[in-house]
Amino acid sequence: MTQQTHPYSIELEGISKRFGTVQANKNIDLQVPAGTIHGIIGENGAGKSTLMSIIYGFYEADSGSISIDGQQVSIRNSQDAINVGIGMVHQHFMLVENFSVLENVILGAEGGAVLKQGMDAAREELKRLEQEYSLDIDVDAIVEDLPVGLQQRVEILKALYRGAKILILDEPTGVLTPQEADHLFRILKSLKEQGVTVILITHKLREILASTDNVSVMRQGEMVAHRETSKTDKEELAELMVGKKVRLKVNKDEAKPEQTVLSAKDLSFFDGQGVERLKKVSLDLKAGEILGIAGVSGNGQSELLNVLSGITPMASGEIQFAGQTITANAPKNAAQMRDLKMAHVPEDRHKMGLVTGFEAYEAAVLGYHDSEAYNGSVLMKRSAMLEECNERMAAWDVRPPNPHLKTANFSGGNQQKIVIAREVEQNPNVLLIGQPTRGVDIGAIENIHEQIVKLRDAGKAILLVSVELDEIMALSDRIIVMFDGAVVGEVSANEADERTLGLMMANAWNEGQGAQA
């Protein structure tokens, strides 16, 4: 916009925030030039979200100041933030799901005690916004019926409707297909052209490089670097993020697949509402390979893991495993599958992998707690459990190496190491592993990836489910794509590229199809 008088639309000076003993933000300075897209990257726990929460008025900073267009402002709650023109698209959408798009947009900005008038005015205004920023959406649709990509657009509209000049997006692409993400970035570009300042928080380097003008890097609560995006690259940013040289590729040799150890045929599963979540899924898993299951979250991957691991019974189909035929009429539960040497690292470690109130040594035997190694005639052998836990913590570099610490108090990466160690140390023949590095920082990701490859090289069969395409592509020897409960494609890792997989994940791929989706 031409009337911009101040070069920086938002300026932070010396922002600090402490939660108990944790210094979440330490003396942060940041200047975001008006009308640009500014990326903020950092590992999980680097303090990005805390910083944005301070800007949006969720938390108050212990010290420091915020200026908008050169004016120092005090932001004590979300209303203050909205008033100075800040809008935020949260990672988990802040939408009322059974409200219409229109109702969601006007919530908090209704324009009068009776809705009618405000709604009509909002309808007009939304029409204008939609045209101006090419954000097509049916304003009368109920939000829960919309795909996530559109729900995100509602969030953006919400901010624009409130007159946001600064739009903050927190990890906006986590739930999107690559195509939806591309669309989002086109929208952000057009916002920028209209003079909106966009702040993009992400841990995905690719997005930063593809869409931002400037980038700031956070590490351990501090702002460690500012770069012009055009003058930096993936390697430099990654290094700044973690503070040491990291590999973006997993080092592994060609797989040497051997005999099939697990074979699933026509697996079906219906959820509580009678919706078919798995549609005749068949797959073969060979010893010495990593089979990756790609897909946007919620397309049957979780159900597949649950059915294979025996947690939920299948509706039909059969599984051949360890010389047994498992069918709907002859099911095996999770404990029986474990006895057949199948290990399972569940997708959600808080819900299914750990009891967060347990101490580490207790969590480390979950699922194997009946094993003779841990049990005396009546009581459990505490000392044996502790000893083993100490050994594993040393071997897997779990920090802090304290078996008496509650699992809830470990960081995400260390919790995950506890779970993976527990499963892998049982020397399984098949390892099912879901989202191995969700919420895990880069250093630990590397370590976990190495362990998975090591297990494969030891001749184990590994089924990897992940919504991170980078992870699937880096680790897998073979990739299956799931969409809407069915397998929609299979490619060998060598042939896989992001675009093909992305299109398959959106079920927009036709064999032999040319360049256009």
Partner 1 sequence: MFETLILILDATLRVSTPLILAALAGLFSERSGIVDIGLEGKMLAGAFAAAAAAAVFGSAWIGLLFAIAASVSLALIHGFACITHRGDHIVSGVAINTIVAGLTVTLGLDWFDQGGQTPSLTGDARFTPITFPFADQLADVPVIGLIYSELLSGHNILVYLAFAMVPLTYWIVFKTRFGLRLRAVGENPHAVDTAGISVALVRYRAVIICGILCGLAGAYLSTAHNAGFLKDMSAGKGYMALAALIFGKWRPIPVLCACLLFGFLDALAVRLQGVSLPGIGEVPVQAIEVLPYVLTVLLLAGFIGKAVGPKAIGKPYVKERA
- 144 three-state secondary structure: helix
- Please state, in angstroms and rounded to a whole number, the distance separating the CA atoms of residues 294 and 490: 10
Of 80 and 239, nearer to partner 1 (C-beta) is: 80
Least distance to partner 1 from the beta carbon of 79, Å? 3
**DSSP conformation class of 349:** I
Positions in 40-69 near partner 1 (CB under 8 A) = 56, 58
Single-letter residue type at 163:
G
Of 57 and 178, nearer to partner 1 (C-beta) is: 57
Q: Checking phi first, is residue 345 left (phi over 0); if not, alpha (psi -120 to 50) or beta?
A: beta
Alpha-carbon torsion (424, 429, 434, 438), positive or negative: positive
Contact status: 248 vs partner 1 (CB under 8 A)? no
Site of tokens 């299109």: 503
Say if CB 291 and CB 282 are below 8 A apart: no
Of 93 and 368, nearer to partner 1 (C-beta) is: 93
Say if CB 210 and CB 185 are below 8 A apart: yes
Positions in 129-168 near partner 1 (CB under 8 A) = 158
Contact segment (CB under 8 A) with partner 1 among 84-92, 214-222, 310-318, 468-476 equals 84-92
Of 137 and 255, nearer to partner 1 (C-beta) is: 137
Of 160 and 463, nearer to partner 1 (C-beta) is: 160
Among 63, 65, 72, 79, binds partner 1 (CB under 8 A): 79
Say if CB 359 and CB 406 are below 8 A apart: yes
Least distance to partner 1 from the beta carbon of 284, Å? 39
Q: Return the number of other C-beta atoms located less than 10 Å from residue 348's C-beta.
A: 12
User: For residue 243, what are the CA distances in angstroms to 46, 47, 276, 359, 442?
Assistant: 12, 15, 46, 31, 10
CA nearest 295: which of 311, 279, 315? 279
How many residues touch partner 1 (CB under 8 A)?
31
Least distance to partner 1 from the beta carbon of 517, Å? 33
CB within 8 Å of 429: residues ≥ 6 apart: 261, 287, 322, 341, 342, 460, 461
Site string for partner 1, 85-114 (x = CB under 8 A): ---x-x-x-xxxxxx---xx-xxxxx-xxx
Among 75, 81, 201, 364, binds partner 1 (CB under 8 A): 81
Least distance to partner 1 from the beta carbon of 63, Å? 20
Q: Which tokens belong to 417?
A: 């190491």
Least distance to partner 1 from the beta carbon of 110, Å? 4
Least distance to partner 1 from the beta carbon of 108, Å? 3
Task: List residues bridging with 200 in a β-sheet.
Answer: 39, 169
Least distance to partner 1 from the beta carbon of 357, Å? 15
Residue 396: CA count within 13 A, CB half-sphere: 31
Of 116 and 244, nearer to partner 1 (C-beta) is: 116
Of 92 and 249, nearer to partner 1 (C-beta) is: 92
Least distance to partner 1 from the beta carbon of 18, Å? 14
Give the interface with partner 1 as residue ranges (CB under 8 A): 56, 58, 77-82, 88, 90, 92, 94-99, 103-104, 106-110, 112-116, 118, 158
